[in-house]
A and B are shown apart, each in its own frame.
Chain A
Amino acid sequence: MVVQEPGAEGIRSCYACGTCTAGCPVRRVNPAYNPRKLIRMVLLGMRDEILKGKEIWLCSSCYTCQERCPQAIRITDTIIALRNLAAREGHAPSGISMQARLIRDQGRLYALDEFDDKKRKKAGLPSLPSEFAGAKKLLEEKE
């Protein structure tokens, strides 16, 4: 099912060479994150373990694995696709959901208030609108 998500179609060609894991900057400091293992788990259909787990949220989207994969698998894009699936089922970490909510509501991560505006003026920078009002309309969920 994951392979239907855009970007994840190529994962069936994985022959577990380990190049992705070998070059992963996250893996180097955190052994819990292992892209080779994650792909294997997807191919084995371990849906719950992946979507409810915290591993997929550890990817730093540095694209090193995707650049080096000999089978040209879009590993980073696959992780993002997995995150989308997990988020849809309510398993996103709170920080991520909060960011999503802010952007969907106000079109920016940080709404610029008067305080920010004063600071900008003091620095000689132009005023900016506090938020993008059309975000809700543009991003409304379709069923």
Chain B
Amino acid sequence: MALELGRRGVPSLVIEKEKTIGGHAGTYACKAVDGHCQKCGACLVQDAIRDIREMPQIEVSVETTLAGLDREGKEIVARFKKGEKEGPDRFSALVLCHGFQPFDPAEKPNYEYNRIPNLITGVELEQMMKQKGNVFRPSDGKPVKDMAFVQCVGSRNPALGRPYCSQVCCGYALRMARQIRTQNPSTSITFFYMDVQTFGRDFERMFWEFRDAVYWIREIPGDFFSTAGDRVGVTVEDEGEIGELTFDLMTLSVGMGPSPDQPVFEKWLDLRQGPERFLVSPKRGGIFVAGSATGPMSIPDTIANSRATVTHVMDYLEERS
């Protein structure tokens, strides 16, 4: 957002409560396979972070929290706090891009997340790949001989208040699986799935290229347990037989949900929720919501959404003056 505005000559202040900007996507790994880009978008985030630093019109304030946001006439007043420094500041427009929160599998207790070893989320796998360059068993650091992905964790689940498909999980899981398999050709990969949602222009082709390297089971497991050697076990029906399958590592492909900061913004600015309980960008008043704060979306989609929002912001600023 800030970049596009900057390119059009609009100065902006980016307020970030963490130590660095980039949000969750900033922690994701490049998923290139043998040097071939898999179009996941992780590097786009890094590029944007670098470009922002170099653009003079953008001021970035990290470790800054907000105490309040108010509309005063045609201006937005932000009361913020950074360390010792406090103060209200006035702006012509406000864009909320507070992102999302990955689904916490503790909300679905039969997954036994945090209760058995070597069961991690997709986000944790991304971070492991980025920091360590390869995949290992968290319990003992040993290599992974066989691993499994469970899809639709915290998505397509009305019982948990998350009826939507998060659109990114089949993508990130398959891309990471492909990268892991390329680096470790003897590691077997199993996918527990409902449907493979191939969002994005190139993904369908990529899926067909990789499909045969994966063992597909069209069932979401119900019971998760720990077995000898800290392996993760599940009971599933496979090819008409009921059995127990065990793995060195299992990844829960978690979906996206509204940010924990959302209720505060709703309250301060009287914002509405959409049918998926994310925020709806208001049509007027100088306040905009962009990116995954409006709903689950991939990194390329977030960028597209931001560019679209920028045109709205530019229109608004023009009308206003």
Interface residues, chain A, with chain B CB atoms under 8 Å away: 13, 15-24, 27-28, 31, 34, 64-65, 68-72
Q: Is B156's CB under 8 angstroms from A22's CB?
A: no
Q: Is A22's CB under 8 angstroms from B220's CB?
A: yes
Q: What would 10 A/B residue contacts be, using CB atoms closer than 8 Å?
A: A17-B152, A18-B218, A19-B220, A21-B237, A22-B219, A22-B220, A22-B234, A27-B237, A68-B110, A72-B158
- Say yes or no: A68-B242 contact (C-beta < 8 A), given A15-B194, A17-B194, A27-B237: no
| Least Cβ–Cβ distance between A124 and chain B, in angstroms | 43
Q: Which among A19, A20, A34 has the highest number of chain B CB atoms within 10 Å? A: A19
* CB contact between B222 and one of A15, A34, A68, A71 (< 8 Å): that residue: A68
- Say yes or no: A31-B219 contact (C-beta < 8 A), given A70-B157, A71-B158: no
Q: Is B223's CB under 8 angstroms from A18's CB?
A: no
Q: B228 at interface (Cβ–Cβ under 8 A)?
A: no
| Residues of B with C-beta under 8 A to A20 | 222
Q: Which among B156, B222, B236, B241 has the highest number of chain A CB atoms within 10 Å? A: B222
* CB contact between A70 and one of B159, B235, B241 (< 8 Å): that residue: B159
Q: Is A18's CB under 8 angstroms from B237's CB?
A: yes
- Say yes or no: A23-B242 contact (C-beta < 8 A), given A18-B237, A70-B156, A70-B157: no
Q: B160 at interface (Cβ–Cβ under 8 A)?
A: yes
Interface residues, chain B, with chain A CB atoms under 8 Å away: 110, 152, 156-160, 194, 218-223, 234-237, 240-242
Q: How many Å lie between the Cα of A72 and that of B235 in the bound state?
A: 21
Q: Is A21's CB under 8 angstroms from B159's CB?
A: no
A-B pairs with beta carbons under 8 A, tally: 63
| Residues of B with C-beta under 8 A to A70 | 152, 156-160, 220
| Least Cβ–Cβ distance between A125 and chain B, in angstroms | 40
9 smallest CB-CB distances across A and B, nearest first, come from A23-B222, A18-B219, A22-B222, A70-B157, A72-B159, A17-B220, A19-B220, A22-B221, A17-B194
| Residues of A with C-beta under 8 A to B159 | 69-72
| Residues of B with C-beta under 8 A to A68 | 110, 222
Q: How many Å lie between the Cα of A68 and that of B224 in the bound state?
A: 13
| Least Cβ–Cβ distance between A77 and chain B, in angstroms | 15
| Residues of A with C-beta under 8 A to B221 | 19, 22-23
| Residues of B with C-beta under 8 A to A21 | 219, 222, 237
Q: Is A15's CB under 8 angstroms from B156's CB?
A: yes
Q: Is B160's CB under 8 angstroms from A22's CB?
A: no
| Least Cβ–Cβ distance between B8 and chain A, in angstroms | 44
| Residues of A with C-beta under 8 A to B160 | 70
**Cβ-closest chain A residue relative to B151:** A17
**Cβ-closest chain B residue relative to A20:** B222
Q: Is A18's CB under 8 angstroms from B220's CB?
A: yes
* CB contact between A13 and one of B110, B158, B240, B242 (< 8 Å): that residue: B158
Q: How many Å lie between the Cα of A108 and that of B130 in the bound state?
A: 66
| Residues of B with C-beta under 8 A to A22 | 219-223, 234-237
**Cβ-closest chain B residue relative to A69:** B159
- Say yes or no: A28-B152 contact (C-beta < 8 A), given A17-B220, A18-B218, A18-B219: no
**Cβ-closest chain B residue relative to A71:** B158
| Least Cβ–Cβ distance between A9 and chain B, in angstroms | 14
Q: A17-B194, A22-B220, A27-B242 are in contact. List 19 more A-B contacts (CB 8 A).
A: A15-B194, A16-B194, A16-B218, A17-B220, A18-B220, A18-B237, A19-B219, A20-B222, A21-B222, A22-B221, A22-B222, A22-B234, A23-B235, A28-B235, A34-B237, A65-B222, A68-B110, A70-B157, A72-B159
